[in-house]
Homo-oligomer: A and B are copies of this chain.
């Protein structure tokens, strides 16, 4: 038997979403439930895939099935394509597996031709209505299917209106519209070289092809990339009998939700228009009525609709978003789907549905999209205050949240002001690693240059600071400390506000509202925590972020980057002294100055964690990051003065540290191999801090020391020996011992493929998927911007491998390393750190690979908890 590509509505059901798309599956389900659905059929997503496989052609077998379904439907509704008495008209709509509203094409009133239009006039006893429908169809078909510009039709319409002295379309009578139709057909002929197609079957096939084609239009591709929808899913096409809401005052059309999609309140919510078609609601020419008023105008219809709405919600166990049309007093359901909602509404609805007994706790957890929580986890502008404000510039929405504060132009001044309690907006041409501290003390960061993966953007996201980057309109003069925005000059201390979710910049301070996990949010998270098996830790380098993360439910720190502590103002001088040292003795002297500060950092962190575990990664970046660039002469001179050395010596060191590919240079554990004294100092700091805090607070601390950038087991063994020897010294000096663990990052491909060897020395692995992605793909995040655009455009990549883990390549190495590691050490602890740790699809992958934890930035912790719960529940279901 030939493969089935076309399904009548009565042949499908809601479970056939992959094949029929969301819209088609739900139309079929409603049909099965006996609800009033205009009948029709769905051309499956597989037909779309074949369309592309066949070189953008609809196979003749599929065409035959379409014609057969058409014939059956015509019989069902008792109408006929192109009929003079009772013409059959259809709508042709896209419908993918995932909802992609507005991304693809729709054609209404298909089936109209020179004969059917008369049939429609006969049937409706309304010639004007019929010709109005016909001219609209010609224009829509020509535009959507044939690509003839709308303007050409508008011009003809205007010409007829001028001729007839008509001001509005509605001033034209049936004869005028016949003239319009005549002219429209002429436009078509002139543009395509053939007559407007009179055969409705030809119209239908062309329209279906147009919908298939629209699956690959730029806005659909963009939408898919944003929403992780694979291009090979394809779209289905729904061919449905037309019903008309514009047949008089006993007709109408509307959209409604079973609950309020903004707040989640349980009350029918929506609006409708009397004597109108769906497009009129969208066009916004007339103001629609609230759905409740339908109760007054058409009580029976309202009751019927309310009953259907309730039973749909009961049936789907979720808030429904429905479209309906009333044709001469008769209600038709055109669509139902689980409605989109705000994060707050999603939480309320999920929790309410549990309380109403409609959902189990685990089902409710699945109803909330982890990514959606993001909007609830950052400060937001007070809605009323925001409405009153006017944006003065637009940049890239690099890190979400809302920030209001005073402008500072250098990191040092930003840090000082921040320390003094002033809300700071750091404004920079672009940021560098030296700005870390200033960024940390700022509410928001605004840069003139850089993209979504620029330093400012990446670091701000990691810190949970609001950031707007690449705002090219800014004219910054860092020396004079001014920035010109929209023609106005702002000085240090002047107030602005940033919306990191929209990229908008505002003058003045707009009131902000802090985020908290409470109420419905907190209840749902309790259920999520019950369901998940994956632990969630955070990446944090200071007590402030740690406390925030713990509030958000972090179960420890998965990645404490010690170098961030090195950049702070009170220690960078000692760090530079260490780098400039010529001998081991000089270096040790400088390190001795850093030791008490670093130890103090760790003590504060251990206290903030209140006994939760912390994985401390040793110094990772290349040392040149701690020195200014060669052309920053003033800074170099200042440092020379401070350290009592010469500028020449510093420049010489900068030259000496210069690397062709710093990403692949002298960093990570390679630093510990060449300068063991750095690892010794860090080990002392960790262990002494742990011993002190354990003594002082009684927490059961088990230090986790992580050696970065290991590629070979001997490398790890070498550094581990330094660490263990130092630990034993500390134990001897203090006459104590305590448990501790030494592990490594797996972030170098060689570490992944030799993980069985590395596990002989490592007690835990943390997958550093940022670097692992860079090395596995062989491109650096800083440079990839130059070509990734072309990769997306050409569909070589469908998502950003730095945001969503590349499971086919990088993921394969993660899986391999996990397997090899466990072969050597069955109980090895496995985690993931880096930005991927907060990405829901990556978290699902981590769950399935059986990692023990994910670690992400503080503001993603609740997202990760929820995503981990989704993964656990879904994997249980699929078993």
Contacts and interface: CB of A to CB of B under 8 A. Distances in A.
Interface of A: 659-666, 670, 673-674, 709, 711-712, 714-715, 718, 747-750, 753-754, 757, 771, 774-780, 782-784, 786-787, 790-791, 794-797, 806, 808-810, 812-813, 816
Given A797-B712, A813-B749, A664 B787 contact: no
B786 A666 contact: yes
A660 B660 contact: no
Contacts of A816: 753
Contacts of A778: 664, 709, 711, 747-750, 771, 775
B749 A779 contact: no
A718 B813 CA distance: 25
Nearest to A779: B664
A796 B660 contact: no
Q: Which among A776, A780, A790 has the highest number of chain B CB atoms within 10 Å?
A: A776
Contacts of A750: 776-778, 806, 809-810
Please give me the 10 A-B residue pairs with the lowest Cβ-Cβ distance, nearest first. A665-B783, A750-B809, A664-B780, A748-B778, A749-B749, A661-B780, A660-B782, A661-B661, A661-B663, A714-B796
Given A660-B663, A660-B780, A711-B776, 4 more contacts: A659-B786, A749-B813, A754-B808, A757-B808
Nearest to A786: B666
Nearest to A674: B790
A689 B662 CA distance: 41
A662 B753 CA distance: 25
How many of these chains are in the complex? 2
A712 B799 CA distance: 13
Nearest to A748: B778
Contacts of A709: 778
A787 B661 contact: no
A629 B128 CA distance: 73
A662 B797 CA distance: 21
A228 to B, nearest CB: 17
Contacts of A806: 750
11 contacts: A659-B782, A660-B663, A660-B780, A664-B664, A665-B784, A665-B786, A666-B783, A666-B787, A673-B787, A711-B809, A753-B809
A771 to B, nearest CB: 7
Contacts of A662: 660-661, 783
Contacts of A795: 714
A825 B262 CA distance: 55
B796 A712 contact: yes
Contacts of A718: 794, 796
Contact of A673 (B674, B757, B776, B791): B791
Contact of A753 (B673, B747, B813): B813
A747 to B, nearest CB: 8
Contacts of A791: 673, 715
A724 to B, nearest CB: 15
A424 B674 CA distance: 41
A587 to B, nearest CB: 14
A791 B780 CA distance: 25
A714 B797 CA distance: 8
A376 B767 CA distance: 49
